[in-house]
């Protein structure tokens, strides 16, 4: 269920488009920000709200890599391994992260702190190698800088 | 060269600073012209799209029907997901108002009352920056009802993607905007006939729209004299990979690739030789290091060299680069991003990656080299959208220009037997 405040936001979003269905992606973003992920119950709820079949919503959620149908760790580390990052040592960044966080790409650590994913080009090739954590980009990384960053986050 | 897209003006992202430096004067000027005149000005300027295909922008605008009762739409493409490309992000951060101004002028020229700027979801931080600029422009009456006291009204909305390279393809973008999975549509009908919500639609890249105020302010003649006549204007070149100073550089079209690498991007670390260059994002054909001599960053020059401008996202690789790994990684990307609608793309991209992984592991067979080309040729031109071509070109060009690398990596006994 969306909070009252988010429901208002959703209503506002609908006005931006000539058809309600178009508000689905932005409303999924709101739902995900609220809950951390998009549960099946949420999909059903949004289906009723937007008058869309559950299958449509499930189809959309599964098509886009940034919508998650399961909770993630407290920090979601997205490591770019595409060409520009690869050429500048993204391997070592990924290794460092695997080592410090104790997980492989696609996994969440047992303490729920870290989720690590390998991702495609993030549009930061000039700052390669890079990782993203939430909306924050960390560019021009070295293994040392990565370790430092993870330590800092770990202490928070 | 003076910079026009990313000028060196402090705080230009703030509306006051933008106004102080002549911002929104092009909008005022355009509102005093008739819409057809505005389109004509853009057409004569020879501005060509910066989204990858170099399509003439003014010409595209003329495809929009004039007497059609349906609403019309503009989609500004900020999906920016082609590996090696990171230029539009600079515009969101450093010159968002010029993008907004260009978008408004485009809307006026084509009689559009709603524009959607589609931005990749990963750019959450930059979406907020652009949203702030949009809000400020609304507050000052540049966007909204009766803009600057005229009869012209339009809205600009930002639409956040959610992680799908394919949504940069124009018909996929429209599907995504409508709230669907991003499956590209069969063309024709083209977007100007039937686009988003079945209405006439124009899709232009972020950088393309950011050029428009320059043309209106200074006139088409002035603009067409910047850089190369057939593909003029300032262009943002992203340089990454093995260079000392990677980054986005604004130059006039027609800049030598060697100047871009050695003068702008500070050359190659350790003064190593250049083995290969991908000139315009991962889908453009790879060039051998010795091939880039005399080649320029413009449509004709790169075409003559056997590649293309694409998004002008240039990836430089030094002499020690493992190109088999590079092409394998690129193929993995296209396999991962294929939407799966067309068999040649869905299956072919998977086969390419599988075979290339074999080469990476030293398990490739000598006959696999031609098989790669065969598969790529069967994808190219046989699919709904150009992602298929984008997957085929890097493989075709890599084999053509670096066959020796594949031979070296093939299984030893296979080489002996052949
Ligand atoms: C697979 C694929 C991905 C694309 N991604 C983008 C993109 O991220 N940004 C973009 O502007 N154009 C992209 N394009 C090109 C668009 O389809 C379209 O040609 C372009 O946005 C038109 O703008 P322009 O004429 O101003 O260049 C892509 C094309 C394909 C086939
Ligand atoms: S070419 Fe590939 S990405 Fe494009 S529509 Fe076909 S399967 Fe989808
Ligand atoms: S390749 Fe890593 S950000 Fe582009």
Q: Is the pLDDT of residue B146 over 60?
A: yes
Whether B285 contacts B396, CB under 8 Å: yes
What is the percentage of chain B residues whose pLDDT exceeds 70?
99
Atom from ligand 2 closest to the CA of residue B379:
1
Q: Cα of B268 to ligand 1 centre, how many Å?
A: 30
What is the rounded distance in angstroms from the CA atom of residue B177 to the CA atom of residue B180? 7
Whether B361 contacts B324, CB under 8 Å: no
- Hey, which residues does B315 pair with through a beta bridge? B240, B278
ipTM for the complex shown? 0.98
Shortest Cα distance, chain B CAs vs residue A86, angstroms:
8
From the list B131, B97, B118, B112, the residue with the least C-alpha distance to B27 is: B97
For range B306-328, the mean pLDDT = 98
Atom from ligand 2 closest to the CA of residue B383:
1
For range B60-88, the mean pLDDT = 96
For range B44-53, the mean pLDDT = 98
For range B343-362, the mean pLDDT = 98
Whether B139 contacts A83, CB under 8 Å: no
**Residue in B86, B180, B241 nearest the CB of A123:** B86
Q: Which DSSP state fits B122? A: G
**Ligand 1 shell residues, CB under 6 Å:** B 49-53, 55, 77, 79-82, 166, 168-170, 203-205, 208, 385-387, 390
pLDDT at B413: 66
| Residue B417's pLDDT band (cuts 50, 70, 90) | low
For range B206-228, the mean pLDDT = 98
Whether B236 contacts B250, CB under 8 Å: yes
**Residue in A19, A83, A124 nearest the CB of B315:** A83
Handedness of CA B183, B53, B82, B281 (dihedral sign): positive
In the stretch 45-84 of chain A, residues with CB closer than 8 A to chain B read 52, 56, 59-60, 63-67, 81-84
Average pLDDT, chain B: 97
Q: What residues in A contact B125, CB-CB < 8 Å?
A: 135-137
pLDDT one-digit tens code per residue, B22-42: 999 999 999 999 999 999 999
**Ligand 3 shell residues, CB under 6 Å:** A 80, 82-85, 121-122, 124-125, 128, 130; B 83
What is the percentage of chain A residues whose pLDDT exceeds 90?
99
Q: What residues in B contact A84, CB-CB < 8 Å?
A: 83-84, 240-241, 246, 315
Give the number of other Cβ atoms within 10 Å of residue A33's Cβ.
11
pLDDT at B68: 85
Q: Is the pLDDT of residue B414 over 80?
A: no
Chain A, nearest residue to B317 by Cα: A87
pLDDT at A114: 98
Q: Do A86 and B160 touch (CB under 8 A)?
A: no
| Residue B1's pLDDT band (cuts 50, 70, 90) | confident
Give the number of other Cβ atoms within 10 Å of residue B142's Cβ.
23
pLDDT one-digit tens code per residue, A40-91: 999 999 999 999 999 999 999 999 999 999 999 999 999 999 999 999 999 9
């Amino acid at each position: 269920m969306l909070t009252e405040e988010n429901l208002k936001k959703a209503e506002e979003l609908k006005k931006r488009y000539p058809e309600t269905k178009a508000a689905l992606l932005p409303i999924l973003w709101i739902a995900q920000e609220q809950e951390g992920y998009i549960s099946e119950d949420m999909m059903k709820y949004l289906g009723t709200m937007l008058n869309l079949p559950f299958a449509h919503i499930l189809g959309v959620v599964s098509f886009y890599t940034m919508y998650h149908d399961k909770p993630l760790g407290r920090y979601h580390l997205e490591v770019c391994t595409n060409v520009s990052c690869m050429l500048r040592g993204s391997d070592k960044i990924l290794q460092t992260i695997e080592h410090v966080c104790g997980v492989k790409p696609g996994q969440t650590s047992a303490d729920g702190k870290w989720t690590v994913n390998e991702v495609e080009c993030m549009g930061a090739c000039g700052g390669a190698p890079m990782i993203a954590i939430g909306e924050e980009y960390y560019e021009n990384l070295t293994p040392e800088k990565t370790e430092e960053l993870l330590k800092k986050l770990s202490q928070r | 060269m003076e910079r026009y897209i990313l000028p060196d003006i402090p705080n230009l992202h703030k509306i006051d600073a933008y106004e102080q430096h002549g911002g929104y004067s092009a909008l005022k000027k355009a509102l005093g012209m008739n819409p057809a005149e505005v389109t004509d000005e853009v057409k004569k300027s020879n501005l060509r799209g910066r989204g990858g295909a170099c399509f003439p922008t003014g010409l595209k605008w003329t495809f929009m029907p004039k007497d059609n009762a349906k609403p019309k739409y503009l989609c500004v493409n900020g999906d920016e997901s082609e590996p090696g490309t990171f230029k539009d992000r600079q515009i969101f951060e450093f010159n968002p108002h010029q993008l907004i101004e260009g978008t408004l002028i485009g809307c006026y020229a084509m009689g559009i009352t709603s524009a959607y700027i589609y931005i990749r979801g990963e750019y959450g931080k930059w979406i907020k920056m652009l949203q702030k600029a949009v809000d400020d422009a609304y507050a000052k009456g540049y966007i909204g009802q009766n803009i600057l006291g005229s009869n012209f009204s339009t809205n600009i909305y930002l639409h956040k993607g959610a992680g799908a390279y394919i949504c940069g393809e124009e018909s996929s973008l429209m599907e995504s905007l409508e709230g669907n999975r991003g499956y590209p549509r069969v063309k024709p009908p083209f977007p100007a006939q039937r686009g988003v919500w079945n209405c006439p639609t124009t899709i232009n890249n972020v950088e393309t729209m950011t050029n428009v105020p320059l043309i209106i302010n200074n006139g088409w003649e002035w603009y067409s004299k910047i850089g190369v006549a057939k593909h003029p204007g300032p262009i943002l070149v992203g340089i990454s990979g093995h260079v000392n100073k990677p980054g986005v550089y604004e130059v006039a079209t027609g800049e030598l690739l060697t100047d871009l690498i050695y003068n702008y991007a500070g050359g190659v670390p350790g003064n190593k030789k250049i083995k290969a260059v991908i000139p315009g994002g991962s889908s453009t054909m790879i060039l051998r290091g010795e091939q880039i001599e005399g080649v320029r960053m413009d449509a004709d020059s790169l075409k003559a060299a056997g590649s293309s401008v694409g998004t002008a996202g240039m990836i430089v690789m030094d002499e020690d680069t493992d190109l088999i790994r590079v092409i394998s990684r690129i193929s993995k990307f296209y396999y991962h991003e294929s939407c799966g609608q067309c068999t040649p793309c869905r299956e072919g991209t998977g086969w390419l990656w599988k075979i290339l992984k074999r080469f990476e592991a030293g398990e490739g067979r000598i006959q696999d080299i031609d098989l790669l080309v065969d598969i790529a040729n069967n994808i190219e031109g046989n699919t709904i959208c150009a992602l298929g071509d984008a997957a085929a070109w890097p493989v075709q060009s890599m084999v053509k220009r670096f066959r020796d690398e594949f031979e070296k990596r093939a299984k030893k006994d296979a080489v002996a037997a052949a």
